[in-house]
Amino acid sequence: MGEAVANVARRVNATVEEEKDTLDLSNCKLISFPDGVFRVLKGVSDNIRIITLADNEMKAISSKFFSTFTQLRELDLRGNVLTKLPDAVGEMEHLTSINLANNSFSIFPEKITEIATLERVNLEGNSITEIPVEKLSDMPALKWLNVKSNPLDSNTQSALQSLSNILSTTEF
C-alpha cells in the first residue's frame, strides 16, 4: 500500500513541478480519486488538460473531480469498476474525449450527452443494453462512438445503424 501511495505522490508532484498539462495515475490501485491530490493540485488544476486514471479499481468518481478539473479535454477511466458518473460530468465545457471502456456500466451515462464539445466516447466492454441514440445524434461535436462488447438489444442496434450515418465512426 505504501508503495502505491508513493507512486501517486511522485506522479502528482511531477505534474506540479514540471507544470505539465497531464496527470497520469493509471495502474495505481486507486479505489477513488485521492482527496490529498485535490489539495496538491489546487493551484494548477486549471492547467490540467488530460487525466488518465486507467486500470485502477475505482468504483466511483466524485462531483468534486469534475468541478476541480474544469479545463479537462481528455479523460481516460478505462479498466475500472465504475457503474455511473456524477451529474457534474454534464457541465464539462471543454471535454472532447472520454474513455469508459471495460468498466461496469449497465446503464448508459446519459449526462455525457450534455457535453457539447465531446467528440469521442468509448464504452466498449460494459454491460449496457440500451443507448439514447436520439440524444447522441443531437450532440454537435460527436464523431466517434464505440459500444462494442455490450449486450445491446435489437432496437438499440437498429437505431445505431442510423446513427452511424451521422458519425464518422460508430463501432458496435
Cα dihedral 55, 58, 63, 68 sign: negative
Average pLDDT value over all residues in the chain: 93
Q: What is the mean pLDDT of residues 147-169?
A: 86
Assign 3 a pLDDT band (cuts: 50, 70, 90).
confident
Select from 43, 84, 37, 44 the least CA-distant residue to 65: 37
**Rounded distance, CA 94 to CA 117, Å?**
6
pLDDT (0 to 100) of residue 139: 96
d(CA 40, CA 17): 11
CATH number of the CATH domain containing 145: 3.80.10.10
Q: What is the DSSP string of 65-110?
A: HHHH-TT--EEE--SS------GGGGG-SS--EEE--SS--SS--G
Which of residues 44 and 127 earns the better pLDDT score? 127
pLDDT score, position 80: 98
pTM of the entire structure?
0.94
Which pLDDT value is given to residue 94? 98
Q: What is residue 1's predicted lDDT score, i.e. its pLDDT? A: 59
Determine contact, residues 38/12, Cβ cutoff 8 Å: no
CA-nearest of 112, 34, 147 to 51 is 34
Angle at 172 between CA 91 and CA 134, to 5 degrees: 45
Q: How far is CA 28 from the centre of its chain?
A: 17
Q: Count up the domains in the chain and report the number.
A: 1
22-42: b or e for each residue (b if 16 or more CB lie within 10 Å)? bbbbbebebeebbeebeebbe
Q: Across the chain, where does the E strand assignment appear?
A: 22-24, 50-52, 74-76, 97-99, 120-122, 144-146, 169-171
Q: Is the pLDDT higher at 51 or at 1?
A: 51
Full domain range(s) for residue 81 = 1-170
pLDDT tens for residues 116-153?
999 999 999 999 999 999 999 999 999 999 999 999 99
Task: Give me Rg for the CA atoms of the chain.
Answer: 16
